[in-house]
Amino acid sequence: MTTKERYESAKQMYAAIGVDTDAAIAKLKEIPISVHCWQGDDVKGFDQDGPLTGGIQTTGNYPGKATTPEQLMADLDKAMSLCPGKKKLNLHASYAIFEPGEAVDRDKLEPKHFAKWVEYAKERNMGIDFNPTFFSHPMMKDGLTLSSPDEETRRFWINHGKVCIRISQYMAEETGVPCVMNIWTGDGYKDVPADRMGPRMRYKEAIEEILSEPFDRDKVKPCVESKVFGIGVESFTAGSAEFTLSFAATHEGCLPLMDNGHYHPTEVVSDKIPALLCFYPEIALHITRPVRWDSDHVVLFDDETKEIAKEIVRCDGLDRVYMALDFFDASINRISAWTVGIRSWEKALLNALCTPNADLRKLQDENKLSELMMAQEEMKTMPFGDVWMQFCEECGVPADKSWFAEITKYEDEVLSKR
Ligand code: RNT
Ligand code: ZN
Parse the chain into domains and list their residue ranges: 31-355
For position 48, what pLDDT does the model report?
87
Whether 262 is a known active-site residue: answer yes
CB 18 within 8 A of CB 359: yes
% the chain with pLDDT above 90 = 97
CA of 45 to the centre of ligand 1 (A): 13
Distance 315 CA to ligand 2 centre (A): 23
CATH architecture assignment, domain 31-355: Alpha-Beta Barrel (3.20)
Rounded to an integer, what is the distance from CA 338 to the centroid of its chain? 12
Active-site annotation holds for 326: yes
Mutate to test the pocket of ligand 1, among 326, 327, 328, 329 (most ligand atoms within 8 A of CB): 326
Return the best residue to mutate from 35, 52, 286, 325 for the ligand 1 pocket (most ligand atoms within 8 A of CB). 286
Q: What is the distance in A from the centroid of ligand 1 to the CA of 184?
A: 7
Minimum-distance ligand 1 atom for the alpha carbon of 43: 6
Is 184 among the residues known to form the active site? yes
Which residues line ion ligand 2, judged by CB < 5 Å?
259, 286, 326
Residue whose Cα lies nearest atom 7 of ligand 1: it is: 56
Q: Does the CA dihedral 311-316-321-322 come out positive or negative?
A: positive
For ligand 1, the distance from its centroid to the CA atom of residue 387, given in whole angstroms, is 33
Give one word for 43, left, alpha or beta, with left for phi > 0 and alpha for psi -120 to 50. left
At 135 the three-state DSSP class reads coil
Q: What is the pLDDT of residues 10-47, one digit of tens each?
A: 999 999 999 999 999 999 999 999 999 999 999 999 99
Indicate if the pLDDT at residue 279 is higher than 90. Answer: yes
Give the residue whose CA is nearest to atom 2 of ligand 1.
184
- Please check whether residue 397 is in contact with residue 79, taking contact to mean a CB–CB distance below 8 angstroms: no
C-alpha–C-alpha distance, residues 34 and 96, integer Å: 18
Flag the least confident range among 49-58, 110-119, 131-140.
49-58
Which is catalytic among the residues 184, 338, 345, 388? 184
Q: Per residue in 327-338, pLDDT tens?
A: 999 999 999 999
Ligand 2 midpoint to CA 313 (Å): 21
**In DSSP terms, which residues pair with 188 in a beta bridge?**
237
What CA–CA distance (Å, rounded) separates 92 from 96?
8
For residue 259, how far is its CA from the centre of ligand 2 (angstroms)? 5
The one catalytic residue among 282, 296, 311, 411:
296
Nearest residue to 278 (alpha-carbon basis) of 243, 305, 317: 317
What is the pLDDT confidence band of residue 54, given thresholds at 50, 70 and 90?
confident
Q: Which residues contact 237 (CB under 8 A, 6 or more apart)?
A: 55, 186, 187, 188, 226, 227, 228, 229, 230
Residue 38 falls in the annotated catalytic set: no
Compute the average pLDDT of residues 124-137.
98
Residue 121: which of 73, 75, 81, 165 has the closest Cα? 73
Q: Give per-residue pLDDT as tens, 189-246.
A: 999 999 999 999 999 999 999 999 999 999 999 999 999 999 999 999 999 999 999 9
The DSSP letter of residue 112 is G
Looking at residue 55, its pLDDT comes to: 84
Q: Among 181, 225, 226, 323, say which to mutate for ligand 1: greatest number of ligand atoms within 8 Å of CB.
A: 225
Cα–ligand 1 centroid distance for 5 (angstroms): 43
Residues with CB under 6 A from ligand 1: 38, 43, 56, 131, 184, 225, 227, 259, 286, 294, 326
Question: What is the rounded average pLDDT of the residues 298-303?
Answer: 98
Q: Which DSSP helix (H) or strand (E) runs through 8?
A: helix 3-16
Instruction: Among the bound ligands, name the one nearest to the CA of residue 92.
Output: 1
The Cα 413–Cα 104 span in angstroms is 35
Instruction: Give pTM, 2 decimals.
Output: 0.98
Task: Yes or no: say if 281 and 223 are a contact pair by the CB < 8 Å rule.
Answer: no
* Ligand 1 atom at shortest distance from the alpha carbon of 261: 8
Residue of the CA atom closest to atom 5 of ligand 1:
326
- Of 366, 278, 347, the closest CA to residue 315 belongs to 278
CA–CA gap between residue 186 and residue 56 (Å, rounded): 8
Atom of ligand 1 nearest to the CA of 328: 10
**324, 65 Cβ separation under 8 angstroms:** no
Torsion angle defined by CA atoms of residues 82, 84, 85 and 88, in that order, rounded to the nearest 10 degrees: -10
Average pLDDT, the chain: 97
- Which of 41, 231, 259 best tests ligand 1's pocket when mutated (most atoms within 8 Å of CB)? 259
The verdict on whether 259 is a catalytic residue reads yes
